[in-house]
Structures are given as C-alpha cells and as structure tokens.
A and B are shown apart, each in its own frame.
Chain A
Amino acid sequence: TQLLEQSPQFLSIQEGENLTVYCNSSSVFSSLQWYRQEPGEGPVLLVTVVTGGEVKKLKRLTFQFGDARKDSSLHITAAQPGDTGLYLCAEDQTGANNLFFGTGTRLTVIP
C-alpha cells in the first residue's frame, strides 16, 4: 500500500491570496481524485486526473497531475472564505473504487 502525503498540513491565508497544496506518493498513481470537505459534511469530489501532465481547471482551482503520475498539485487563485475546508487527495488503489485518502490540507481563508 502506497502512502499519500499531503502538504502543507495546515494553511491560513488572507482573502485574495494564491496558494498551492500538494499530494505526493511513493508509487505511481493509476488516477487521482481531489476532494474538499467542509466542517460537518462529507468530502465532495472536485476533480479526477488520469493522464500524466494533465491540467484541469475548475473556476479558480487548477489541478495538475505530474508527468510521472507520482504527484499532484491544487492551485487556488484569489482565495475566498468559501474555499475554507479540508482538501483531500485520494486514489482508487484496487480498481474497485475503494478509495485511499491522504491526510489532507486544512485551509483557512481569512476575510
């Protein structure tokens, strides 16, 4: 079982700033999913990346999958308080949709 390391563990920034969070693995990902979890809620899927070097955009969020498919990043432009939450990366290691999650990055955006 590979480890999913997310960094930083905590991040507190002012509204309007940019930020990047990272997800790294000891092995090659088959595919990678990014989720956001708000307090009192379950995780919500943001994006799935599959191909090495892939870049996907979701409004102010940009997701990148490393060329070697062992790392991924999430960049947020002009962060807003509504972006506050726990950002999780996850992989389906068995191919049966049994997700293995990283420990997450807890983001706080201060108005």
Chain B
Amino acid sequence: ETGVTQSPTHLIKTRGQQVTLRCSSQSGHNTVSWYQQALGQGPQFIFQYYREEENGRGNFPPRFSGLQFPNYSSELNVNALELDDSALYLCASSLRTGGRETQYFGPGTRLLVL
C-alpha cells in the first residue's frame, strides 16, 4: 500500500476518443510523474509535474497532456486515441526536497483502445 490511488482501474475507449485518467498522490507529495507501460515492457516516462508546472517530458506527442492540482492530485489527458495507446498508465508521487527522492507508484489504469 503506497498511498497513491488511481481511477478508473480499467477503461475501454475507441480510436479517436479522448480520455482522462486521475491520480491521487500520497499526502504532502509535491511531484507526480506519469508512465506508460505497454504489455511485456517496462514503464516509459511520459511527463512530470512539480508544484503544478510541467517539469520534464519524455518522448510522447502533445496529445498527451497533464494537470496537477493544488491538492496534489493530477490528471493525464490523451486526445485522439490510437490503438497503440493501449497500455497500463501509472502515476508515481514523490516529495522533492533537494535530495534523493523515492517514487511511490499507484496500481495503474489499464486502458484498452479498440
């Protein structure tokens, strides 16, 4: 139990639709990162938010966007869904203090695009 929750747990969408995934960080954590994990692969970094600002982005197109709220919850939005977007989406929260951080992962949202 990491204290990080995600919703929904599973989701089915069709190609071209838009989706919003939600993450509730561990209490007090000011940093949230999102990862995409395709079947049989390790997680791939999408982007990170620190104090409500994007603070790093992986090799993902602009149709992947995010928000972080003052209560440290966050959203991942994906527009114009493609079949290859089918994956497990993980969020991870951490507390940035200037030293080494430990990321705490949620259980993920499994997205299927048909």
List residues of chain A with CB under 8 Å of any chain B CB. Answer: 4, 6, 40-45, 48, 88, 90, 94, 96-104
Contacts and interface: CB of A to CB of B under 8 A. Distances in A.
A45 B108 CA distance: 16
B39 to A, nearest CB: 11
A99 B45 contact: yes
B18 interface: no
Contacts of B106: 42
Interface string B88-108: 001010101000111101111
Interface string B34-73: 0100001111110010000001101000000000000000
Contacts of A40: 107
15 contacts: A4-B42, A6-B42, A42-B4, A44-B2, A45-B102, A90-B42, A94-B56, A96-B56, A97-B96, A97-B101, A101-B44, A102-B42, A103-B42, A104-B41, A104-B42
A98 B108 contact: no
Nearest to A101: B42
Residue among A6, A41, A48 with max Cβ neighbours from chain B (10 Å): A41
B58 A98 contact: yes
A86 B94 CA distance: 22
B2 A42 contact: yes
B26 interface: no
B48 A97 contact: yes
B24 interface: no
Nearest to B47: A98
B44 A42 contact: no
A15 B95 CA distance: 38
Nearest to B100: A48
B103 A97 contact: yes
Contacts of B4: 42
B2 A96 contact: no
A48 B31 CA distance: 19
B113 to A, nearest CB: 20
Nearest to A45: B102
A99 B43 CA distance: 9
Given A40-B107, A98-B45, 14 more contacts: A4-B42, A6-B42, A41-B108, A43-B90, A43-B105, A48-B100, A88-B43, A90-B42, A94-B56, A97-B103, A98-B58, A99-B35, A99-B45, A101-B43
